[in-house]
Structures are given as structure tokens and as C-alpha cells.
A and B are shown apart, each in its own frame.
Chain A
Amino acid sequence: EIVLTQSPTTMAASPGEKVTLNCLASSSVSYMNWYQQKSGASPKLWIYGTSNLASGVPNRFSGSGSGTSYSLTISSMEAEDVATYYCLQLSSYPYTFGAGTKLELK
């Protein structure tokens, strides 16, 4: 089973600040997917295939990475970005999620 380790666990960013969330895989994966979950809501697809933004996702978000190291970057933090972000690997069964990064506003 591939273990995904997300860092940091929690972080606070100021409006306009650049934010980078990380996801480290215990074995190489072909690509990474990211989900945004706001409090009390279901997860939403945010980034698929490592770097493709889902429909409606602002272009201040980007995704990158390869092999065992992936990241989600927000170029300029906004209040609406407050949420928990989870990475998900689909390269091998069983599919696995990271523990999530909770992003707060400073």
C-alpha cells in the first residue's frame, strides 16, 4: 500500500501570501489528485493528473510534481481558500489518501 504523507498538517497564511502544500508518496506514483474540503461539506475535485485544474478552480492554484513528491501551490492566498486539502493516488490499489493539510487564514 502506498502511504501519502502531507505536510504541513496545518498552516495559516495571510491574504496575498504564496502557499505550498506537499504530498510525499512512499513509492513512485504516476500522478496525483487533490481535493478541497470545506467545513461541513463534501470533498471537491480540485486538481487532477498532477497539474490539471478542475472546472471552476481559480488559476491562482497550480499543481506539480513527479515520482514521489507532489505539491499544490496557491500563488496568492484568499479567504475563500480556507479548507482542508487532501491528496489521492490512483496509481496502485488500494487507492490511498493523505491525511490532509488544513489551511487557515492568518
Chain B
Amino acid sequence: EVQLVESGGGLVQPGASLKLSCVASGFTFSDYWMSWVRQTPGKTMEWIGDIKYDGSYTNYAPSLKNRFTISRDNAKSTLYLQMSNVRSEDTATYYCTRDYYSSYPDYWGQGVMVTVSS
């Protein structure tokens, strides 16, 4: 069974940094592209970016490219999202997704909440 479990969220102050993790199981992690998607409290869905199966290539939403970094550790079957200089508008639930052969997300984690507030 495919499982994606995110962690690392919580309350963080504006301007701070935060690193989210997503531990994958039930499939060969190193065979799949992976992505991060977030959903705001108002339910707007935003694609953050993706990473190639070997970690050699990433794509980002232009509005987030300068502050967010996606990485992975295939030996640990773990996907990461490094967030820097966070803002109130980064308040959202963050999901990691498995991408079906660099295509559509076919599995989603349960999500982790990030609240940016002083």
C-alpha cells in the first residue's frame, strides 16, 4: 500500500524557515517524480513544484522559486520542502504527492498544516 506521511509543520513566525518532510512507503521511491502541493484555508490549491526521481531536476511555481526548495533522499525514501522567509500567505496545508511517471499526482499524503503568524 502506498503511503506518504508528511511532518514538520506547525506555527512559525514570519521571516523564519521551516523544513517539511514526507516519508514514502509501499513503492520504490527512487522510481518516481514527487511533488508538493498546498491548499490554503480558503481551499485554493497551488502546485509548489516537483523533483525528478534521481533528484537531478526540479521545477517550481515562479512565485515560490526564490524561497522554496525541494529535495529528496532516496536512501531514506524521504521528500523535503525547505521553506525560507515565510509569510502569512504561506499558511496552508502542505501535501506531498507521488507523480505517476512524471505525470499526474496519483497518491497524496494526509497533509501537514503550516501556520505563519507572530
Chain A interface (Cβ within 8 Å of chain B)?
A: 1, 33, 42-45, 48-49, 54, 84, 86, 88, 90, 93-97, 99-100
Q: Measured between C-beta atoms, what is the minimum distance from B77 to chain A in Å?
A: 19
CB neighbours (8 Å) of B47 from chain A are 88, 94-97
CB neighbours (8 Å) of A94 from chain B are 47, 59-62
Query: How far, in angstroms, from A85 to B54 measured CA to CA in the complex?
Result: 32
Q: Which of A42, A54, A86, A95 contacts B106 (CB 8 A)?
A: A54
- Whether B61 and A42, one on each chain, are in contact in the complex, defined by CB atoms closer than 8 angstroms, is no
CB neighbours (8 Å) of A42 from chain B are 95, 108-111
CB neighbours (8 Å) of B104 from chain A are 33, 45, 48-49, 88, 90
CB neighbours (8 Å) of A33 from chain B are 104
Given A93-B59, A97-B45, A97-B46, CB of A45 within 8 Å of CB of B106? yes
Q: Which residue of A lies closest to B46 (CB)?
A: A97
The A contact surface, by secondary structure, is loop
Q: Which residue of B lies closest to A97 (CB)?
A: B45
CB neighbours (8 Å) of B105 from chain A are 45, 88
Q: Measured between C-beta atoms, what is the minimum distance from A101 to chain B in Å?
A: 11
CB neighbours (8 Å) of B37 from chain A are 97
Q: What are 13 of the A-B contact pairs (CB < 8 Å)?
A: A42-B95, A43-B108, A44-B108, A45-B107, A48-B106, A54-B106, A94-B47, A95-B47, A96-B47, A97-B37, A97-B44, A97-B46, A99-B44
**Which one of A1, A43, A54, A94 has the greatest number of beta carbons of chain B within 10 Å?**
A94
CB neighbours (8 Å) of B95 from chain A are 42-43
Query: How far, in angstroms, from A70 to B44 measured CA to CA in the complex?
Result: 20
Further pairs besides A95-B47, A97-B47: 19, Cβ < 8 Å: A42-B95, A42-B110, A44-B108, A45-B104, A45-B106, A45-B107, A48-B104, A49-B104, A54-B106, A84-B43, A88-B47, A88-B105, A94-B47, A94-B59, A97-B37, A97-B44, A97-B45, A97-B46, A99-B44
